[in-house]
Every structure is written in C-alpha cells, then in structure tokens.
Amino acid sequence: MAMRESVRTRCKERLETLSDAGLGPDEARREAITELRSAVGFERWCWPLTDPGSALATNGIAEFDLWPSLPRLIALEEHGDLTSKPGLALGRRASVSLNAATGGDLARSLRWQECLRPYGIGDELMTACRDRHGCWGSVELMRDSDEAPFGEDEVRLLHELSPTLGKLLRRSLPQSWPADRAEPTSLAPATLIVDAELRPTSWTPTARDWLAELSPPGAGAEMLPSAIYEIGTRVLTPPEAATELPASVRVRTWAGRWAAIEGAALEGAGHGHVAITMRAAATEEIFDLLCRTYDLTRRERQLVALVLDGLATRQLADALCISRHTVQDHLKAVFDKTGVRSRRELISHLSGT
C-alpha cells in the first residue's frame, strides 16, 4: 500500500521544525525516530553521527540487541557487502533497503547473514543524512524477519528526508560542545595496531587513555570506538574498491578534547595490519569542521580564516577587496551563526582553544 501523502507531509514538516528547535544530538535523533516510526514503522534502529568530511562514525545511539555483532556489522557497512555507508554518502541515492538491494533474497547480504539474521532481523533501511556540507550521520531502521520488507515509497521518503536529517544533525552538534567545559590536560599522541580482523595487537602507552576518552561511558573494554573499525576497514579496502573518502575522523571526546583519529596500512613485518593514530586535532581540522557545522559561506569562511591570522578590519577589507562596512556585515553574520559576541570569542571557538 502506498504511503498516504498526509503522512509524508507531516513527517517532513515535523523534522524541519525539529531542526530549528535547538536540540542536542541525542534528543534530536530520538525525537526524529519517533516521527520516522510513525511514518514508516519499525522497532530496532541505530543512528551514528559521522564526520562530514569522511562519513566515518563519531558516536552513535541505538535501540537494538545485536551488540555482540557490532564490530563485524560496522566493518561490513564500510565495505564488503551489497550496500555500504560510503556508497550512500557519495552516491546518487541516499537511501536503500537490503530487500531491494538483494532482489528480495536477503541471504545475498553477508551483513544480514552474519550480523542481522541471528537476531531475528529481516529487512533494513539505511539512509545517509547528508546536506551540501557533507554526511552527518547514517540512520538504520530494522524490521523483524516476520514483518513485511520496507516498500519503495518508504525508501523514497527517507531519500527525500536525507537533507533534512543532515541539517537536523548538523544544527544539533553545537549543543554538545558546552563552552564552559574545563580544558582537558594535554595527552600525547598514541598508536594502536589492529590486525586484518580489526583486533588490537599492540599499542603505545597513551592509547588506553585515548580509548577511554573516545569510548562512550559504560562501554566495555573489549569494544573499540566505531570509528576504529571503520578506519581499519577503509584502509584495508582493495584499491579497486576504494573511494576518495579519507581514513580519518575528527571528534570531540567525552573529556572535551578535539581529537583526530586516522589510519594507515603497515608494510614489512606488519603487512596486513593497520596503524590507528589518535592525537589532538590541528587548528585547521577543527576550523574546517566548525565552518561546515555553522553553515558558513565561502566568503565568510575566507574572512574568518584571515581573522584567525590576526588581521584587523582595514587589512581584512584590503585582502578581500571589500569595504570595511561589508567586513562588519560579514562578521555580524558569522557572530549570529556561531553564537559568539566578539572576535576574541570567535578566534577561540573556531580554532578549538
């Protein structure tokens, strides 16, 4: 049965309203799930946030019971199955169901066979939450094996909602970056080595400290942050199947630190293993992420980059070939978007200090 137009319209309007509600990421996602559930119908779900530049996970929330399969599920969502998150992040279609991708034969999906079927899950509907600034998350809706698969109209609705969901996530992120959080003590970079099965084999002394900051409270020691499984898989993906997405992610740790996680393949005796580096994010990495988050225009981004270099108003006007009045107009727009009140606050915020 085709979805009623009134249901589609209400869902779209409600999600647009949520994107303007000033909610934090967790609350925004849970409110959105309520709306999606009323329009589509499902029980279990998973919704990780992602770095918009790489589509790699930063953190996630979920209502499901397949935690033991999660590392393998994460790896297969990155590469090795009929559908993948990178494919949705970069492709023409932002949404796909396993039933449609397999032609109705779910057993063709390795991810379904290994990770979903053992828990009684049937069809899955995955959607990349992307806007013009990048992919901000991927929502995965799951139906039980005794339920009907997702229909084409439901897949189409989620595809149409992709930009709205991306905007919802993007606008929610600053709410999770409280300005009054105490600055964490410095932490030396760390390296974690994982094998071809993404199992840790060795690490440097500060790796445990980094993993403690990157893992959500209450996470078991045996479970690594999702990004590490995804980065390891991306690094090990054969060149002919690789995408242009980088094997790196920027994330705000639970201690309030801006961090970067990146991976590289090992050669020599470590061939087939991946080195995962965890370090403090560089100013330019934070600047790029925050410019995307706050929807800064190309001109606003140019202006702020020069402000971070210490240029005064007259110098800004000369460098950009605009009037000083226009400089002030641009700065006011940037202040409004970022919620700061002065250049000093702007410099501190957009440089991550």
Spatial strand order in the sheet of 121-131: 57-63, 44-50, 134-144, 121-131, 95-97
Beta bridge mates, 121: 144
Beta bridge mates, 138: 128
Question: What whole-number distance in Å separates Cα of residue 23 and Cα of residue 172?
Answer: 6
Which parts of the chain register pLDDT below 70?
Answer: 1-3, 178-184, 217-221, 353
Any idea where the domains of the chain sit in the sequence?
5-176, 190-282, 296-350
* Structure confidence at residue 3 (pLDDT): 64
296-350 and 190-282 share a CATH fold: no
User: Tokens 């107009």, residue?
Assistant: 329
CATH class given for the domain over 190-282: alpha beta
Question: What whole-number distance in Å separates Cα of residue 120 and Cα of residue 222?
Answer: 24
Q: Which residues contact 172 (CB under 8 A, 6 or more apart)?
A: 23, 24, 25, 27, 28, 29
Nearest one of 47, 55, 52 to 231, comparing CA atoms: 55
Question: What whole-number distance in Å separates Cα of residue 99 and Cα of residue 105?
Answer: 7
In eight-state DSSP terms, residue 53 is: T
Exposure string of 24-50, with b = 16+ CB inside 10 Å and e = fewer, is ebeebbebbbebbeebbebebbbbbbb
Question: What whole-number distance in Å separates Cα of residue 350 and Cα of residue 303?
Answer: 12
Helices (H), the chain: 5-19, 25-39, 70-78, 85-90, 98-101, 110-111, 152-172, 207-214, 226-236, 283-293, 298-308, 313-320, 324-338, 343-350
Q: Which amino acid would we find at residue 338?
A: T
Superfamily of domain 5-176: GAF domain (3.30.450.40)
For residue 48, what are the CA distances in angstroms to 58, 146, 215? 7, 26, 13
In eight-state DSSP terms, residue 45 is: E
* Structure confidence at residue 218 (pLDDT): 63
CATH number for region 296-350:
1.10.10.10
